[in-house]
Every structure is written in structure tokens, then in C-alpha cells.
Amino acid sequence: MRAGLIQLTVGDDPAANLPATLGLVRQAAAAKAGFVLTPELTNGLSSSRAHQRSVFRHEEDDETLSALRAAAKAAGIWLLIGSLGLLTDDADGRFANRSFLIAPDGSVTARYDKIHLFDVTVSATEVYRESEGYRPGNRAVVADAGFARIGMTVCYDVRFPALYRRLAQGGAQVITVPAAFNHITGAAHWETLLRARAIETGCFVLAPAQTGFHPEAGGRGRKTHGHSLAVAPWGEILADAGTEPGVTLVDLDLAEVEKARGRLPRGMQLSHFSVLNHLARVNDERTPAQLARSFHVTRGAMTNTLTKLEWAGHVHIRPDWEDARQKFVAISPSGRAARDSAVASVVPLIAEVVQTIGADKVRALLSVLRELRISLEGDGG
């Protein structure tokens, strides 16, 4: 599937913004993109609640939504409308920041309201209180788009990994992050956050963004980061749109999702692998206290890890028949297989590192690392 990420520089007038958006959607479709994505607040950016109230519409009356649905149908494409600012019937008058997944027949397949709202003081002159104007959503959404299952998020959601874990657990293969990311926080965190979400979920992450300076009535405005990104499930950057409006194309191979997830057993965490690797290496039982000392963690933390490993069937925990207060932990055949699989998955990566920095430098580090490990393990091993 070819995806087309649309990068926009919208103003605060939805009617004035629409022609450029439609033009880029058609451009992406003409370039054979079957899945086209627009940024957060495609219909318009404004810091004035009064102005938003005058130009936003309810979903059923929104001209941007109806025009983009018609464009998707005309082109026969899947379209992710990153989000639209919409009026609601809430008593407090707050708006919805709503993302839409549109099917090739123009119907609305799924809706998602942004859950995490941007209430942040970026600098002395840039203060955002999104929750004063927008109501938060309250549910995670994974939708079937035929070619893939799509997990839907918006902008500031990207800082909350628990949401992304829920989407992956719900079967998401592609996660969308349409955004109007602030230019200061964007320069610092945008790429890092998107790559982290891709790596931890094993999903493609597609993040169409607003870019540049967005003028508002009254002379005000704001600046967004741009750099719409497409990230592979293993964390590689597949495409970066830079800072100009336009369309960025990327081809998605959904087989990469399972390939990335298969490199480490599902649910394998570094702390879990470390304990399994230790037990496999010593090839003997250890008490939870010994393991806690070996890894310089509390007994409580080690107990939590061992409980999860026991649930997964990766360790056996038995009582000490001579002391009812004591237990012994041993790696199970399943745990040994999981550990071996994880080791096999990282061997190619280690080979890449050796090739990149040189075997001599790696060899020089080994003796230092060995001494460090022995020192840290002490008599707890």
C-alpha cells in the first residue's frame, strides 16, 4: 500500500483552507497513494475561541468533512482526515478535535476524539491550554481499513505510550499521528517520540503535520514544526517531509510488522530478557534475593518481574523444602527458547555495530565490560 502524507500550512478560515487541501489529496491519489492522510485541524488553526466558534460547524454541517468525503469517493482511496475542529452540544461550549477514517466509498469508517489535550507552557510567550477550548475523548480506536488495521491518535497523544500499547494489543498494524506540533517541542522531541511509539508497538507510524507560520485574524499566529514522518515498525525513518507544504509518498509493506515483532518474542521486555539470560548462563536455580542483588534492584521489583515471567511460563518457581520462607527460580524450556530467540534476533544488529565501529574497538571494550559485570555481580550471581 502506498501512503501519501499531506503537509499543510492552514490559516484560521476553513473555507479558504479547503482548496489547497483538496488539491493535495488529488495530487496524492494521482501518484497512486491508496491511503492519504491530512494533519491535525485540517480545517483551521486559531487561538481565539470566539473565532473558532464562528467558523467551526457541527459534524453533520461541516463543509470540509463533506468535501473530503466526496474527494475520497471520487479517487477511490482511504483517507485519514487528521482531525477537524467541530462544534458540540456540550453545555460548556467546548469543541471536539476529531479524526476521521474515510472509506473509498466516502463513508465514515471510524471516528476518534483526541484524548490527551495540550496544556503546556512552552515559553514565557507561548502558553497552550487546549482543554479550555476542547473536550477530551474517552476511548481508543482501532479500525479495519481492509489493507491494515489502523490505530488512531492525534498529536499530543504521542507522549502517552499506554494508549499506543492498547492500540497494538487491539490489533493495530499502522498508527496515525496527525499533528500540529509546536516548533519548539517539535525540534526537541517529535522524531524521538514517533520512533519510540513505532518500536514499542511494532507498528508503522504515519504522522502528517502542519508546518510553518499560521496567520490569524488580528495579526496573531503560531508556528508549527512540520516534518511529517513515516516510521517503520523497527524504528527506521522511511520519509521526512521537511518544512514545506506538499505530499510525501511512502510504500508500506505490512509484512514488516510481523517481521519486527518477531525479532523479540511478544511481550519480551529488556528486564525479562536479562533475568532469563542470567538464569540460562548460570544454568542453575537462584533465589529471588540473589537475582535482586545481581541486577541491583529491590526485592519488590524482582518479584514483579518473576511473577510476569512465571505467568508467561518462562520460569519455574518452587519453595525451598527446608525453609518455607525461601523460594528458588529456574528457567523453563519455554523461557530458554524465548531467550535463545531474543539472542538470535539481536545477533545481526550486533554484527552491524561491529562493522560500523570496527572489530578492534569492540574488542578493546570487552575486557572493560567483563570486569564491570564481574564487579557488579559480586557474590550475588
The residues that are catalytic are 40, 114, 155
Q: How far apart are CA 101 and CA 111, in angstroms?
A: 6
Q: How far apart are CA 51 and CA 293, in angstroms?
A: 61
Q: How far apart are CA 260 and CA 116, in angstroms?
A: 28
Q: How far apart are CA 93 and CA 95, in angstroms?
A: 7
Give how far Cα 53 sits from Cα of 63, 85, 118, Å: 15, 10, 19
Amino acid at site 287:
T
Q: Which residues pair with 99 in a beta bridge?
A: 112
* Contact status, residue 28 vs residue 2, Cβ threshold 8 Å: no
Can you give the three-state secondary structure of 26-44, one letter per residue?
A: HHHHHCCCCEEECCCCCCC
What's phi and psi for 311, nearest 5 deg? -60, -40
In which residue are the cell numbers 534475593 written? 289
